[in-house]
Amino acid sequence: MVKWLISSLASNLLLGLAVAAPVEEHKRAANSPATVAAHQVLSLSRQLSPRPGLTLGSKFRNLRAFATAADPQPAGLDIALPAYQQVEYLLNVTAGGNNYSLIIDTGSSDTWFVKSGFQCYDYRRRPVALANCQFGPEFKGDFPGGAIKDLQFNVSYGNGYSGPNLNGEYGYADLTLAGITVPKQQIALATSGYWTGDDISTGILGLGMPGLTEAYNSSQATLNSYGNTISYSPVVTTMTTALKLPSLFSLGLSRTPADSFLALGGVPANVMTGEYTTTPLLTWESSKGGPEYFWYTIQTDQMVWNSSTISQQTARSPKAIVDSGTTLNYLPTQIADAINNAFVPRAVYDPDVGGYVTSCNATAPAFGIKIGGQMIWTEPSNMILPQLKNRQGKCLTGITDTSEEPYILGDTFMQGLVAVFDIGKLEMRFAKRV
């Protein structure tokens, strides 16, 4: 479903969707939410250069702090660092007594680290030097909490045929982030695969739900498909069952490094927002039978740019995944073409980078998505990624296309918002930061 951006320029743009079978083949309330302060807050690292995001408008009324005096205060807060070519957000995680940088990904559920001795392959599955995979520091040693026998890690990202893919093993480790320790969390150590990294991150922190975990019985490796997956408790589930935290987390992505955060159990007390909009999470039909929650999938009501409007209120209304592991918004081809045509000068599709490019000084159109009856606007000046250029020096835009559901609302959409992933209520809430 998702086009993996295979060029060296854009190879890190899409990490969020784990791939496996049918929908899984690609694996494959109220306007103002109850005020719950975060139990734990982790500011996100953003690598290298400032990343364009959503600037905050001043037109919102009824501004409010998310937390009240009665709410518990965050127990931990880290300083955010700059982002790699504007395409990903990192955070610090401690495992086995060592600190690592992981990519925060709401579009997958496995938390994994590259293991010392990793065998790197190119996209044709030919062995190459480890440096070609561009990992950060490798995980030292084996699983601190012991290995899990006969369980195999096998995951693909983006395009399952030519995109990054990893194999490895499962075991247990205590994970520490934002001052708390998630005990005996099942993690994977990647031992081989094709990857295009950033020379900083060691792996991914998967914040998706159990339906996206990618564990298989190692005695049936040739049968690896979604129907044969063995679900387990990912981080978002373990933190609730083991630590009794509220079953939600919030994510704030920002152009300003110190303002980006991940909060476990709520939203930081000092985050000011406009009015929240609420929308339910949607299920997908599972190949195992019946509906199941996989990604954080929501319904969009409308998409608006300049004076054009396309209503999504139909029986075939497209679903969209809220995915921090994907840089761009992946929208229906008709809409993506129209939005990119509205840039001045017009943005054109460049197959070499897998996206639309335009002059780095172009004027972007006004663009908004209505969710839960409320319009969420993306600041036009932030719809151009000046650090991502093609060979002709044109800049990538924040909107690209895909012909298949589910569509993706990535970092281009999320920047400048507080996104609350409320697993307990099976809903999402969004508000502009002010």
Asked if pLDDT for residue 13 goes beyond 90, the answer is no
Least trusted range by pLDDT, from 172-181, 302-311, 323-332: 302-311
Q: In the block, which residue shows the tokens 């609730």?
A: 240
Asked if pLDDT for residue 54 goes beyond 50, the answer is no
Q: Between these two residues, 51 and 145, which has the higher pLDDT value?
A: 145
Q: Is residue 371 part of a domain?
A: yes
Contact yes or no for 216/151 (Cβ under 8 A):
yes
| 290 and 201 assigned to the same domain | no
Predicted local distance difference test score (pLDDT) of residue 142: 95
Asked if pLDDT for residue 29 goes beyond 90, the answer is no
CA distance 271 to 433: 7
| 166 and 312 assigned to the same domain | no
| 94 and 224 assigned to the same domain | yes
Listed residues 235, 270, 305: the one ending a domain: 270
Q: Is residue 66 part of a domain?
A: no
Q: Which of 71, 105, 350, 411 is catalytic?
A: 105
> In Å, how far are 94, 112, 256 from 183, measured between CA atoms?
12, 16, 32
Is residue 323 part of the annotated active site? The answer reads: yes
Predicted local distance difference test score (pLDDT) of residue 26: 35
Mean of pLDDT over the chain: 79
| 247 and 302 assigned to the same domain | no
Predicted local distance difference test score (pLDDT) of residue 141: 92
Asked if pLDDT for residue 259 goes beyond 50, the answer is yes
| Single pTM value for the model | 0.83
| 256 and 110 assigned to the same domain | yes
Could you give the number of structural domains in the chain? 2
Listed residues 247, 270, 293: the one ending a domain: 270
Which burial class, exposed, middle or buried, applies to 30 when counting CB atoms under 10 A from its CB (0-12, 13-18, 19+)? exposed
Asked if pLDDT for residue 156 goes beyond 50, the answer is yes
User: Residue 366, SS3?
Assistant: coil
Q: In the block, which residue shows the tokens 């008709």?
A: 334
Identify the domain containing residue 354 by its residue range: 277-432
Listed residues 255, 270, 285: the one ending a domain: 270
Q: Is residue 377 part of a domain?
A: yes
| 231 and 287 assigned to the same domain | no
Is residue 422 part of the annotated active site? The answer reads: no
| 308 and 225 assigned to the same domain | no
CA distance 137 to 93: 13
Q: Is residue 190 part of a domain?
A: yes
| 261 and 354 assigned to the same domain | no
Biggest distance spanned by C-alpha atoms of the chain: 59
Taking residues 303-328, report their average pLDDT.
74
Asked if pLDDT for residue 209 goes beyond 70, the answer is yes
CATH of the domain at 226: 2.40.70.10
Which burial class, exposed, middle or buried, applies to 247 when counting CB atoms under 10 A from its CB (0-12, 13-18, 19+)? middle
Asked if pLDDT for residue 281 goes beyond 50, the answer is yes
CA distance 185 to 171: 8
DSSP annotation of 359: -
**Pairing between β-strand 302-305 and β-strand 284-285 as defined by DSSP bridges:** unpaired
Predicted local distance difference test score (pLDDT) of residue 43: 47
Q: Is residue 262 part of a domain?
A: yes
Taking residues 274-286, report their average pLDDT.
92
| 234 and 320 assigned to the same domain | no
Q: Is residue 81 part of a domain?
A: yes
Q: Which of 71, 78, 198, 323 is catalytic?
A: 323
Taking residues 52-68, report their average pLDDT.
25
| 301 and 260 assigned to the same domain | no
CA distance 379 to 367: 7
Count CB neighbours of 339 within 10 A. Answer: 28
CA distance 434 to 432: 6
| 189 and 328 assigned to the same domain | no
Q: Is residue 168 part of a domain?
A: yes
> In Å, how far are 73, 236, 237, 292 from 246, measured between CA atoms?
14, 10, 10, 21
Q: Is residue 11 part of a domain?
A: no
Asked if pLDDT for residue 68 goes beyond 50, the answer is no
CA distance 342 to 273: 30
Residue 207 neighbours by CB under 8 Å, 6+ apart = 104, 105, 106, 109, 234, 235, 236, 249, 324, 421
Q: pLDDT tens digits for 161-195?
A: 678 999 999 999 999 987 789 999 999 999 999 99
| 297 and 191 assigned to the same domain | no
